């Protein structure tokens, strides 16, 4: 009956929420939320307030009116806590990460920043021999903050000949109705050209093989084949693909290497059929490593983002063993500190084999970071980093 209250019900509410998923994050939009308290609930609240006032008065009389025993005075010399991404929020820190994020390390050093970027020739490669690494920021560049990045690949672009060459990325972006393949100028973040995917397709990782580029589609197993012999790229066809899902993609000079949300690297023969050559399980100290996402081949290793863990696994592509872990959580925290909570997960690795330059970015990040990989600070063990990085 209109206007009548449901018996025994104190709160009525209505919430409408839309979710948009994908391999690298979850976009949640709440369209409306309202609460209405019944008369019964208001009566309960009034009674509770009255009881609270009486109780507080009795306590004050008992302690002689000294309120400090109830509300201790704040120590002005106490250090205020800060949180790296994945840690437990410290008192006073307004930035609380969602429950899917990383467990904390006992000690995580702050992200170091170069005061002067070295010349490219000095970046001859990445260090080996250790099992735990961290990042040092060399430079940062603008990036489209609306790009739901699924993968970036360094590509020297020479539109009118050798004298016109410049640094660019081939970038794959996701979300239904927003997925693209685009060429992006490194220095400014400008989108040189962009090609849309069908609105029913959610773009995933991509990899270039000569004048062709393969782009995975989430949850369909299909693969876009693009022609880069002339630009903007033109779509040749939509291949069926051998996998039921597509997440990350890279090319090692012989095979395409793909992930499908699990703990396996799938090696595919480039071509119109994309025949599966072999599959290699990825493990870290004997444990399977699931949620392998965006991929890059770096000095013969396969580097993989782990979904919702701001870490990069350095993988021996033949055995599947994780050689080392790279802690990128402080980099993500830097993005959050500088640009707010809009930035999503880490999900972009690009490598320039000619100069040894390395870049990282993520979904909805307003920056691309050129970084160097350095051994982790003393006290950060490989075991602790594995615990933080494993789903």
Split the chain (391 residues) into runs of 10 and give each run's mean pLDDT.
42 39 48 40 52 52 46 36 31 35 44 41 67 96 98 95 96 98 98 98 98 97 96 95 95 98 97 94 96 97 95 97 96 92 92 97 97 92 92 87
pLDDT at 50: 56
| Phi, psi torsion values for 23, nearest 5 degrees | -70, -20
Sign of CA dihedral 139, 143, 145, 147: negative
DSSP annotation of 106 reads S
- Residue 113: partners with Cβ closer than 8 Å, 6 or more residues away: 136, 137
pLDDT at 46: 54
On whether residue 339 sits in a domain, the answer given is yes
On whether residue 346 sits in a domain, the answer given is yes
CA distance 360 to 148: 14
- Say which CATH number the domain at 165 has: 2.40.128.630
Nearest residue to 224 via CA among 252, 191, 201: 201
pLDDT at 25: 53
On whether residue 133 sits in a domain, the answer given is yes
CA distance 296 to 358: 10
pLDDT at 219: 96
pLDDT at 340: 84
3-class SS of residue 234: strand
On whether residue 142 sits in a domain, the answer given is yes
On whether residue 211 sits in a domain, the answer given is yes
H or E, element range at 224: strand 223-227
CB 375 within 8 A of CB 127: yes
Between CA 142 and CA 150, with CA 146 as vertex, the angle to 5 degrees is: 90
On whether residue 258 sits in a domain, the answer given is yes
Q: How many CB atoms lie within 10 A of CB 167?
A: 18
| Phi, psi torsion values for 60, nearest 5 degrees | -65, -40
On whether residue 107 sits in a domain, the answer given is no
On whether residue 305 sits in a domain, the answer given is yes
State how many domains the chain has: 1
Domain limits at 174?
112-389
């Amino acid at each position: 009956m209109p206007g009548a209250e449901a018996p025994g019900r104190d709160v009525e509410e209505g919430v409408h929420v839309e979710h948009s998923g994908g391999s690298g994050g979850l976009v949640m939009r709440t369209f409306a939320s309202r609460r209405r308290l019944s008369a019964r609930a208001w009566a309960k609240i009034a009674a509770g307030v009255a009881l609270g006032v009486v109780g507080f008065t009795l306590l004050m009389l008992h302690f002689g009116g000294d309120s400090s025993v109830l509300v201790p005075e704040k120590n002005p010399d106490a250090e205020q806590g800060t949180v790296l991404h994945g840690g437990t929020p410290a008192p006073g820190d307004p930035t609380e990460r969602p429950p899917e994020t990383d467990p904390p390390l006992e000690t995580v050093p702050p992200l170091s920043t170069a005061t002067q970027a070295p010349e490219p020739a000095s970046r001859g490669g990445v260090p080996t021999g250790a099992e735990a690494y961290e990042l040092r920021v060399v430079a940062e560049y603008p990036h489209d903050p609306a790009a739901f990045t699924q993968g970036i690949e360094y590509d020297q672009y020479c539109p009118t000949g050798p004298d016109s060459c410049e640094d660019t990325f081939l970038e794959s972006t996701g979300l239904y109705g927003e997925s693209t393949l685009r060429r992006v100028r490194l220095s400014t973040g400008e989108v040189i050209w962009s090609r849309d995917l069908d609105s029913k397709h959610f773009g995933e990782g991509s990899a270039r093989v000569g004048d062709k580029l393969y782009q995975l589609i989430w949850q369909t197993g299909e693969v876009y084949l693009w022609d880069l012999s002339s630009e903007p790229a033109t779509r040749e066809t939509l291949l069926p693909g051998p996998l039921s899902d597509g997440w990350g993609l890279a090319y090692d000079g012989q095979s395409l290497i793909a992930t499908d949300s699990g703990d396996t690297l799938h090696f595919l023969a480039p071509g119109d059929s994309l025949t599966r050559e072999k599959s290699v399980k990825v493990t870290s100290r004997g444990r399977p490593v699931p949620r392998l996402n965006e991929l890059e081949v770096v000095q013969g290793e396969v580097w993989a983002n782990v979904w919702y863990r701001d870490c990069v696994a350095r993988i021996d592509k033949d055995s599947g063993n994780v050689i080392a872990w790279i802690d990128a959580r402080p980099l993500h925290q830097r993005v959050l500190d500088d640009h707010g909570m809009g930035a999503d997960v880490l999900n972009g690795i690009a490598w320039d084999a000619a100069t040894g330059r390395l870049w990282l970015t993520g979904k909805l990040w307003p920056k691309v970071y050129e970084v160097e990989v350095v051994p982790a600070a003393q006290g950060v063990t490989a075991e602790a980093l594995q615990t933080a990085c494993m789903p």
